[in-house]
């Protein structure tokens, strides 16, 4: 398997290298200024295409003034000056003046002169003169950039038109004491005005494509990064966004140079520093994929690339001012640094691809291979290649690398979208499975608790019976033995109370829910009439107030709602003194039925209010409460998609407010709707009389719990 992956990786690397080499070879052949230079006569004069009738020049388009230049190093020559013998050069042979100085400084003056022969009107473009410059045509100054005396650099593309009738001399004076590059670095273009305008338009469109697409990718990565949590994938989006932003700043120089900029070295520092920032971002992304966090290789790569970012931002500015002789060496160091990092990252990705075959890693590897090859072609063709319409090899390599990284980000997000879609499609199925498993678990719990409580009833009853028999038989017991019997009786009572608690827990789930459309008005009337006699025996007034005669339909379980009312009302009975009042009220509030249970009892303290619905919470001073009544109330209301609130004042009473959603469905049961307001003064006297000695039944009172 490993051999198969290694073979595939080798094939991929080979194909990418071949395709990239072919692509860069086509660029070198078809988009190279050095391949479309003009003819030079035997006397050294450049022969221009005849444009008298406009056809010849248009057919040839743009040609480049590469050869035929006389160069005068460290001299500012004016038209008509008698000068010593010049040096024959071609443009691009010397990017800087360092080769003419023993100390290697790129700074100094220089004059370029060329003679041309032709007939017609011509337009000339001198791109990116990184110094002060003045241009003379046949002894007349026609344009300039900055100032030679006093020195004031101003980087700008120079465009001017002139007429040629026979022979013409062009003389270009340059002066550089601030920039990495010196003199005329790139071959000037000459052609008709339309051809030069077309050249500028195509070049600006190309670099505009690079700038705006990279900015769009940076914005895309920023949006994804802002919407994701902190993770490796999120970090990749962050560094990819910085990579896109740095590349767009790096390749915006044609727009800057077309408009002109003073302080020419700043443009160079921006370009080199953004190249270092971009390579740092690529290193961070590859490190996240291939290296362990905070490992030694990861720290070394991060340190080297971060160091060159600092050099690009700070050292370049200091070096050009205080150490100009080191500038050529710095250029070599910067180039070999890029090669080293690119090769290292490529090796890491090849190793990762062999270990873990993945399309996303493959795209990154392709991008790095193209970038590495672009650096190699740049070194091989230095001084013999300059793009006419598009970009340099390294710019192409970086853009393709950025595009490959974008494909990786897109694939990662597509995978996340597919996973989310899969989860959404199966969400309902998984919820149903989980619900079924939970229901089975609850059913087993209920059966276990019911069986446990049932099995314990018999031994508890036997203990109580035999303890009572010992006491009734007048068995002669000493005081210590009687204390033991009292302890047995108290502990047995505690066990019975715990069994009661278990019964209440299991009782609420023992019968399956029976939800149906109910009329809450009728349910309250039935509850009121059924329980008023028991409450009246305690000397407490029990009232019912319904808002109007309209039905209040809810969807609920009648048995559980009755259990909820029993817990609330008989809990109020426990804390309301004789002569007090308990009141049931029903109102409508928008889409909710509002049920209130009010009492004039002892109330609840503010300290206890947050805990009254908690399991086993009670503030009863006796042993009659187990603290689960209000917990059951809250569970039932939650099950009915409602909510409960409580308001209480110590010594004045408590109000429980319950809101249950109203349903629009009508029940099939016909009922008489009557507005009722009952009180113990006007209720059925016969019922009161027959029950005046009754107390709340044990069956009801066992639901009561403490607030």
Q: Which of 291-305, 425-439, 604-618 has the highest mean pLDDT?
A: 291-305
Q: Which of 455, 481, 286 is nearest to 365 (CA)?
A: 286
| 644 burial level (CB within 10 Å; 0-12, 13-18, 19+) | buried
Rounded to an integer, the average pLDDT of 59-68 is 78
Residue partners of 120: CB distance under 8 A and separation at least 6: 48, 50, 51, 52, 54, 57, 163, 164
Q: Which of 327, 435, 318, 336 is nearest to 378 (CA)?
A: 336
The sign of the CA dihedral 46, 47, 50, 52 is: positive
Angle at 675 between CA 671 and CA 676, to 5 degrees: 105
CB atoms within 10 A of CB 219: 13
Rounded to an integer, the average pLDDT of 514-522 is 88
| φ, ψ (nearest 5 deg) of residue 345 | -65, -35
Q: Which of 507-521, 524-538, 616-630 has the highest mean pLDDT?
A: 524-538
Tokens coding 52: 């008298």
Give the span between the Cα atoms of 14 and 9, in whole angstroms.
9
Rounded to an integer, the average pLDDT of 609-629 is 68
Q: What is the structure's pLDDT at 230?
A: 56
Q: Is residue 505 part of a domain?
A: no
555 plus 451 within the same structural domain: no
Task: Tell me the pLDDT tens digit for each residue of 65-77.
Answer: 998 899 999 899 9
619 pLDDT band (50/70/90 cuts)? low
249 plus 390 within the same structural domain: yes
Q: Is residue 506 part of a domain?
A: no
Number of H helices, E strands in the chain: 18, 18
Quote the percentage of the chain above a pLDDT of 90. 24
Rounded to an integer, the average pLDDT of 547-564 is 84
Q: Residue 620: pLDDT above 70?
A: no
- For the chain, the first-to-last Cα distance in angstroms comes to 71
* Top-confidence residue, 148 or 451: 148
Residue with tokens 């370029």: 112
**Least confident residue range of 11-25, 177-191, 465-479:** 465-479
* Top-confidence residue, 543 or 422: 543
Task: Tell me the pLDDT tens digit for each residue of 249-266.
Answer: 999 988 888 887 775 567
Q: Which of 216-225, 547-556, 675-684 has the highest mean pLDDT?
A: 216-225
Q: Residue 273: pLDDT above 80?
A: yes
Whole-Å CA distances, 514 to 436, 510, 518, 530: 18, 12, 11, 22
231 pLDDT band (50/70/90 cuts)? low
Rounded to an integer, the average pLDDT of 37-65 is 67
488 plus 541 within the same structural domain: no
270 plus 406 within the same structural domain: yes
Cis preceding-peptide flag for 70 (omega within 30 of 0): no
**Least confident residue range of 122-131, 508-517, 575-584:** 508-517
Cis preceding-peptide flag for 61 (omega within 30 of 0): no
How far, rounded to the nearest angstrom, does the alpha carbon of residue 443 sit from its chain's CA centroid? Answer: 43
447 plus 369 within the same structural domain: no
The sign of the CA dihedral 102, 105, 110, 114 is: positive
* Top-confidence residue, 220 or 481: 220
Residue partners of 116: CB distance under 8 A and separation at least 6: 45, 46, 47, 48, 164, 167, 168, 169, 170
240 plus 111 within the same structural domain: no
pTM higher than the cut 0.75: no
532 plus 680 within the same structural domain: yes
Q: Is residue 692 part of a domain?
A: yes
CB atoms within 10 A of CB 183: 27
**Least confident residue range of 1-5, 85-89, 312-316:** 1-5
Per-position DSSP letters for 235-274, written without gaps between them: HHHHHHHHHHHHHHHHTTHHHHHHH-EESTHHHHHHHHHH
**Least confident residue range of 407-411, 441-445, 487-491:** 441-445
Q: Which of 233, 555, 603, 652 is nearest to 416 (CA)?
A: 233
Q: Residue 59: pLDDT above 70?
A: no
133 plus 103 within the same structural domain: yes
Domains: count for the chain: 4
CB atoms within 10 A of CB 18: 10
Q: What is the structure's pLDDT at 533?
A: 84
Q: Which of 343-352, 479-488, 545-554 has the highest mean pLDDT?
A: 343-352
179 pLDDT band (50/70/90 cuts)? confident
305 plus 326 within the same structural domain: yes
β-partners of residue 37 are: 64
Q: Is residue 430 part of a domain?
A: no
**Domain range for 558:** 515-701
Q: Is residue 149 part of a domain?
A: yes
**Least confident residue range of 44-53, 283-292, 386-395:** 44-53
* Top-confidence residue, 669 or 4: 4
CATH number for position 419: 1.20.1070
User: Which of 164, 191, 218 is a domain's end point?
Assistant: 191
Q: Is residue 371 part of a domain?
A: yes
452 plus 543 within the same structural domain: no
Q: What is the structure's pLDDT at 135?
A: 95
Q: Is residue 434 part of a domain?
A: no
Q: What is the structure's pLDDT at 673?
A: 38
Q: What's the mean pLDDT when you consider all of the chain?
A: 80
Q: Which of 415-424, 505-514, 634-643 has the highest mean pLDDT?
A: 634-643
Q: Which of 592, 587, 583 is nearest to 543 (CA)?
A: 583
Quote the percentage of the chain above a pLDDT of 70. 81
User: Is the CB of residue 588 less than 8 Å from the CB of residue 601?
Assistant: no
User: Is the CB of residue 406 less than 8 Å from the CB of residue 217?
Assistant: yes
Tokens coding 328: 């050529």
* Top-confidence residue, 444 or 383: 383
Q: Residue 247: pLDDT above 50?
A: yes
Whole-Å CA distances, 704 to 543, 633, 687: 19, 11, 24
């Amino acid at each position: 398997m490993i051999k198969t992956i290694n073979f595939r990786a080798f094939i991929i690397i080979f194909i990418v290298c071949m395709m990239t080499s072919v692509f860069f070879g086509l660029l070198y052949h078809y988009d190279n200024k050095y391949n479309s230079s003009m003819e030079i006569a035997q006397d050294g004069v450049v022969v221009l295409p005849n444009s008298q009738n406009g056809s010849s020049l248009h057919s040839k388009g743009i040609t480049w003034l590469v050869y035929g230049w006389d160069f005068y190093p460290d001299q500012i020559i004016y038209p008509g000056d008698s000068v010593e013998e010049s040096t024959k050069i071609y443009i691009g042979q010397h990017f800087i003046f360092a080769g003419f100085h023993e100390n290697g400084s790129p700074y100094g003056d220089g004059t370029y002169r060329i003679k041309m022969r032709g007939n017609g009107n011509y337009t000339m473009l001198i791109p990116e003169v990184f110094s002060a410059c003045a241009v003379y045509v046949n002894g007349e100054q026609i344009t300039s950039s900055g100032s030679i005396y006093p020195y004031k650099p101003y980087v700008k593309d120079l465009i001017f038109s002139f007429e040629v009738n026979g022979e013409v001399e062009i003389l270009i004076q340059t002066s550089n004491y601030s920039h990495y590059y010196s003199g005329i670095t790139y071959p000037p273009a000459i052609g008709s005005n339309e051809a030069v305008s077309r050249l500028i338009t195509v070049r600006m469109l190309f670099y505009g494509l690079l700038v705006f697409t990279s900015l769009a990718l940076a914005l895309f990565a920023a949006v994804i990064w802002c919407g994701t949590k902190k993770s490796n994938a999120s970090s990749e989006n962050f560094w990819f966004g910085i990579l896109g932003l740095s590349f767009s700043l790096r390749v915006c120089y044609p727009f800057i140079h077309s408009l002109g900029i003073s302080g020419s070295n700043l443009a160079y520092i921006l370009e080199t520093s953004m190249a270092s920032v971009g390579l740092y971002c690529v290193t961070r992304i590859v490190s996240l994929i291939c290296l362990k966090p905070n490992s030694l290789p990861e720290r070394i790569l991060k340190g080297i690339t971060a160091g060159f970012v600092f050099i690009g931002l700070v050292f370049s500015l200091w070096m050009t001012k205080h150490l100009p002789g080191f500038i050529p060496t710095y250029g070599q160091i910067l180039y070999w640094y890029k090669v080293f990092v690119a090769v290292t990252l490529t090796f890491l990705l090849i190793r990762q691809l062999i270990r873990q075959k993945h399309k996303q890693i493959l795209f990154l590897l392709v991008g790095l291979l193209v970038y590495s090859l672009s650096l190699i072609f740049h070194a091989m063709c230095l001084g013999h290649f300059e793009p006419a319409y598009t970009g340099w090899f390294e710019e192409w390599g970086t853009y393709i690398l950025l595009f490959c990284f974008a494909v990786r980000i897109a694939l990662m997000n597509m995978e996340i979208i597919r996973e989310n879609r899969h989860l959404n499609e199966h969400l309902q199925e998984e919820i149903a499975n989980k619900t079924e498993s939970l229901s089975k678990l609850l059913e087993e719990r209920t059966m276990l608790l019911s069986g446990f409580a049932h099995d314990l009833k018999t031994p508890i009853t036997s203990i109580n019976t035999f303890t009572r028999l010992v006491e009734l038989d007048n068995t002669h017991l000493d005081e210590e033995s009687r204390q033991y019997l009292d302890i047995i009786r108290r502990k047995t009572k505690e066990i019975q109370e715990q069994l009661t608690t278990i019964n209440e827990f299991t009782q609420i789930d023992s019968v399956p829910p029976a939800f149906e459309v109910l009329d809450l008005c009728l349910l309250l009337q039935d509850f009121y009439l059924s329980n008023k006699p028991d409450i009246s025996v305690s000397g407490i007034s029990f009232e019912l107030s319904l808002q109007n005669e309209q039905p209040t339909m809810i969807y609920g379980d009648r048995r559980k709602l009755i259990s909820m009312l029993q817990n609330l009302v008989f809990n109020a009975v426990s804390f309301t003194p004789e002569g007090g009042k308990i009141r049931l009220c029903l109102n409508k509030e928008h889409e909710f039925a509002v049920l209130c249970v009010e009492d004039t009892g002892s109330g609840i303290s503010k300290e206890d209010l947050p805990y009254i619905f908690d399991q086993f919470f009670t503030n009863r001073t006796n042993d009659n409460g187990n603290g689960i009544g209000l917990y059951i109330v809250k569970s039932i209301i939650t099950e009915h998609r409602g909510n409960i609130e409580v308001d209480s004042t110590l010594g004045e009473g408590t109000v429980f407010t319950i809101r249950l959603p109203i349903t629009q469905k009508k029940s099939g049961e016909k009922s008489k709707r009557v507005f009722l307001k009952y009180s113990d003064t006007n209720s059925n006297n016969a019922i009161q009389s027959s029950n005046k000695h009754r107390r709340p039944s044990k069956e009801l009172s066992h639901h009561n719990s403490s607030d």
